[in-house]
C-alpha cells in the first residue's frame, strides 16, 4: 500500500494539473477575499450593499468572503484534481499496465484517494496561512479568539468540500472520462446552489460545509454536517468496487 501511495504521489508531483489547481484555488481565494475587503473600504454605499451585510472591513468579513469563495471554488479545483487522479490512465490509455502490477486495483484506488486527500490537506493549510498573511497585510490586526475559531473553519471547509467531491472520483472511474468527471463536479456545484436557494442547504451534503463555515456553525447541525462524511465514504467505497472490477476490455 505504501508503495502504491508513493507511486501515485510521484505521478501527482510530476504533473502540472495538481500544482496549477492548487495555486489557482489557494491564490484565487486569497486574492478575491482581499479584493472584497478593499471594496468594503471603498465607502461606496451602493457597492457595499451589493456585497451584502456579511462583508465587513474586519476578520469576520474576510472569513465570510473566504467561506463563500472556497466553498464554490473547492468543487471546481478539487473536482478537477479528482478527475485527473482517477481518469488519467484511461485518458492516456495506460490503464492496461495497472493489471501487471503486484498491487490490487482496489488498493490503487485507495492510494489515489490518499493522494487526493493529501492535496486537499495542503490546500487547507495554505489557504489558512495565506488568509492570515492577507489579513495582516490589510491591517486587520491580530485575530481575537472568536476570529481564530472562524478562521480555523476555513481549512475544515476545504477538507469537507473534498469529501463532498468524492463522487467525482466514482464518475471518473466508471466512465473513464476526464470530461465526464469534470462535468459531474460542475453539476454538483449547480445542484448545491439550487439547494441553497431553495432553503434545503443544511440537509444537502454538498452545501452543508459552506453554510456551516459561513454561519459559524449556527445554520448547520452536526448531524447534517455528518451527511457530508457519509457521502464521501459511500463514494469512496463505490470507487474502490469499480476499480476492483476493472476489465482489460475497458
Torsion angle, CA of 143/146/147/149, rounded to 10 degrees? 110
What whole-number distance in Å separates Cα of residue 94 and Cα of residue 24? Answer: 28
pLDDT at 233: 94
% the chain with pLDDT above 90: 34
pLDDT digits (tens, 9 = 90+) for 188-243: 888 877 777 766 667 778 888 888 888 776 777 888 888 889 999 999 999 999 98
User: Is there a contact between 52 and 67 (Cβ–Cβ < 8 Å)?
Assistant: no
Q: Which helix (H) or strand (E) holds 18?
A: helix 16-40
User: DSSP readout, 114-131?
Assistant: HHHHHHHHHHHHHHHHHH
Averaged confidence pLDDT in the chain:
84
Which of 54, 51, 53, 22 lies closest to 35, judged by CA? 51
Which of 84, 156, 93 lies closest to 116, judged by CA? 84
Q: What DSSP character marks residue 141?
A: -
Amino acid at each position: 500500500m505504501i508503495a502504491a501511495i508513493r507511486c501515485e504521489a510521484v505521478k501527482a508531483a510530476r504533473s502540472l494539473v495538481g500544482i496549477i489547481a492548487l495555486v489557482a484555488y489557494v491564490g484565487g481565494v486569497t486574492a478575491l477575499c482581499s479584493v472584497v475587503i478593499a471594496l468594503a473600504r471603498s465607502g461606496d454605499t451602493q457597492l457595499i450593499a451589493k456585497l451584502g451585510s456579511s462583508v465587513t472591513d474586519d476578520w469576520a468579513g474576510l472569513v465570510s468572503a473566504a467561506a463563500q469563495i472556497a466553498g464554490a471554488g473547492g468543487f471546481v479545483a478539487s473536482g478537477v484534481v479528482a478527475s485527473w487522479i482517477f481518469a488519467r490512465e484511461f485518458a492516456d490509455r495506460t490503464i492496461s499496465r495497472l493489471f501487471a502490477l503486484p498491487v490490487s486495483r482496489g488498493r490503487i484506488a485507495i492510494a489515489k484517494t490518499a493522494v487526493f486527500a493529501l492535496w486537499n490537506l495542503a490546500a487547507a493549510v495554505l489557504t489558512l496561512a495565506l488568509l492570515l498573511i492577507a489579513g495582516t497585510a490589510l491591517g486587520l490586526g491580530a485575530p481575537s479568539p472568536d476570529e481564530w475559531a472562524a478562521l480555523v473553519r476555513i481549512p475544515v471547509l476545504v477538507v469537507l468540500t473534498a469529501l463532498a467531491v468524492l463522487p467525482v472520483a466514482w464518475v471518473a472511474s466508471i466512465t473513464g472520462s476526464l470530461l465526464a468527471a469534470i462535468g459531474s463536479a460542475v453539476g454538483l456545484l449547480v445542484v448545491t446552489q439550487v439547494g441553497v436557494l431553495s432553503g434545503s442547504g443544511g440537509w444537502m451534503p454538498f452545501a452543508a460545509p459552506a453554510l456551516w463555515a459561513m454561519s459559524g456553525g449556527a445554520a448547520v447541525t452536526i448531524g447534517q454536517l455528518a451527511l457530508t462524511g457519509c457521502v464521501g465514504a459511500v463514494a469512496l467505497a463505490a470507487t474502490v468496487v469499480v476499480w476492483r472490477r476493472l476489465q482489460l476490455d475497458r
